[in-house]
């Protein structure tokens, strides 16, 4: 497991004691209620078959996982929730676990699960998760191997550093950021362009970038599959700076 991933595991171990169903999933308190919008947005991007086998990687123990559980029951999906052990225990305590599978693991460092589930899932969701690893390509490739034919992998809510840099160096971005930070535009750091932002930015995972997204679109299309980068509905918490990568196995 890489260092960034170890830190993330520690962070979410601590978060597993939280009771707020929005902040436990890494969102801010003022994002409470936005999970319904996130799910509705996701639903426009996926088309699983009836009785689909679904895997949620980094499911969390918040509102989004609970919505997926509810939807799974009503749509007869066979859903597996995967996250670190503490989060899986927390999730189990929040829902009627009957009919669901739970996998306490750090993906893709879970060899038995990977070996036993090749070509098994019709839909794999990893929402707001991939930036916790320094090896996003291994994460994507391992998840892709678990897809059945025509299965879809949605790597959602990618905090793409280029996208954030483009936004924060634009006039709209500066206006929105000033309001969000309750300050004036002249007090914000000024970025010449996206590359200047990336040079100065210290907190984001710089591997989650245009190259990662574009390379995966080329790679999976060249292999004969479908791959798209999709924008998020403006009702979503980080829609200006995040996007979703969807790969469909053919
Ligand atoms: C920001 S939360 C998102 C939770 C949920 N997907 C949502 O959007 O509400 C990130 C979650 O991913 C989990 N996580 C991070 N890296 C992971 C990995 N490599 N394998 C499994 N879970 C992981 C964390 O434990 C945490 O629960």
Rounded to the nearest integer, the mean pLDDT of the chain is 94
- Nearest atom in ligand 1 to the alpha carbon of residue 125 is 6
**Domain's final residue, options 188, 204, 220:** 204
- Model confidence at 27: pLDDT above 90: no
Label residue 28 by pLDDT band (50, 70, 90): confident
Say how many Å lie between the CA of residue 61 and the centre of ligand 1: 9
Q: Which residue has the higher pLDDT, 31 or 35?
A: 35
Q: Enter the pTM of the model.
A: 0.94
pLDDT at 1: 84
Q: For residue 91, what are the domain limits?
A: 3-24+34-43+50-159+206-248
pLDDT at 33: 76
- Nearest atom in ligand 1 to the alpha carbon of residue 27 is 1
Query: Is residue 29, in this structure, part of any structural domain at all?
Result: no
Do 181 and 213 fall into the same domain? no
Do 74 and 105 fall into the same domain? yes
CATH of the domain at 212: 3.40.50.150
The DSSP code for 159 is: -
Question: Is the Cβ atom of 205 under 6 angstroms away from ligand 1?
Answer: no
Query: Is residue 244, in this structure, part of any structural domain at all?
Result: yes
pLDDT at 225: 98
Label residue 30 by pLDDT band (50, 70, 90): confident
Give CA torsion, residues 104, 4, 162, 193, to 10 deg. 150
pLDDT at 158: 97
| DSSP-assigned states of every residue in 14-33 | HHTT---TTGGGT--GGGTT
> Could you report the per-residue pLDDT of 110-169, keeping only the tens digit for each?
999 999 999 999 999 999 999 999 999 999 999 999 999 999 999 999 999 999 999 999
Do 155 and 183 fall into the same domain? no
Rounded distance between C-alpha atoms, residue 190 and residue 136, angstroms: 29
Mean pLDDT value across residues 76-103: 96
pLDDT at 48: 92
Question: Is the Cβ atom of 113 under 6 angstroms away from ligand 1?
Answer: no
Mean pLDDT value across residues 183-206: 95
pLDDT at 17: 85
Query: What's the token pair of residue 92?
Result: 């189990």
Query: Is residue 149, in this structure, part of any structural domain at all?
Result: yes
pLDDT at 248: 98
Q: Rounded to the nearest 5°, which phi and psi values hold at 217?
A: -65, -50
Say how many Å lie between the CA of residue 45 and the centre of ligand 1: 20
pLDDT at 13: 84
Do 60 and 13 fall into the same domain? yes
pLDDT at 26: 76
Sequence-distant (≥ 6) Cβ neighbours of residue 230 within 8 angstroms: 45, 243, 244, 245, 246
Pocket test for ligand 1, best of 31, 132, 140, 157 (most atoms within 8 A of CB): 132
- Model confidence at 29: pLDDT above 90: no
pLDDT at 51: 93
- Model confidence at 72: pLDDT above 80: yes
- 222-244: b (≥16 Cβ within 10 Å) or e: eeebebebeebeeebbbbbbbbb
Do 7 and 131 fall into the same domain? yes
Do 213 and 134 fall into the same domain? yes
pLDDT at 2: 85
Do 121 and 175 fall into the same domain? no
The candidate with the shortest Cα–Cα distance to 128, out of 232, 13, 6, 16, is: 232
How many domains does the chain fold into?
2
């Amino acid at each position: 497991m890489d260092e960034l991933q170890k830190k993330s595991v520690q962070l979410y171990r601590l978060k597993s004691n939280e009771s707020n169903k929005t902040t436990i999933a890494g969102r801010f308190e003022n994002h409470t209620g936005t999970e319904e919008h996130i799910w509705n947005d996701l639903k426009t991007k996926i088309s699983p078959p009836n009785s689909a086998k679904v895997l949620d990687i980094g499911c969390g123990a918040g509102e989004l996982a609970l919505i997926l559980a509810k939807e799974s029951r009503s749509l007869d999906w066979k859903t597996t929730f995967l996250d670190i052990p503490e989060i899986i225990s927390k999730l189990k305590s929040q829902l009627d676990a009957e009919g669901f599978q739970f996998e306490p693991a750090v993906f893709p460092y879970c060899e038995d699960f990977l070996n036993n589930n090749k070509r098994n899932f019709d839909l794999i969701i990893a929402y707001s998760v991939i930036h916790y690893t320094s090896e996003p390509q291994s994460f994507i490739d391992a998840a892709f191997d678990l897809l059945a034919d025509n299965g879809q992998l949605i790597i959602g809510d990618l905090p793409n550093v280029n996208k954030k840099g483009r936004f924060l160096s634009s006039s709209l971005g500066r206006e929105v950021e000033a309001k969000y930070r309750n300050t004036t535009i002249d007090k914000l750091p000024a970025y010449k362009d996206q590359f200047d932002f990336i040079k100065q930015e210290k907190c984001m995972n710089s591997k989650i970038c245009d190259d990662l997204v574009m390379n995966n679109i080329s790679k999976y299309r060249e292999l004969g599959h479908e791959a798209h980068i999709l924008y998020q509905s403006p009702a979503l918490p980080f829609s200006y700076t995040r996007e979703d990568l969807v790969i469909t196995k053919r």
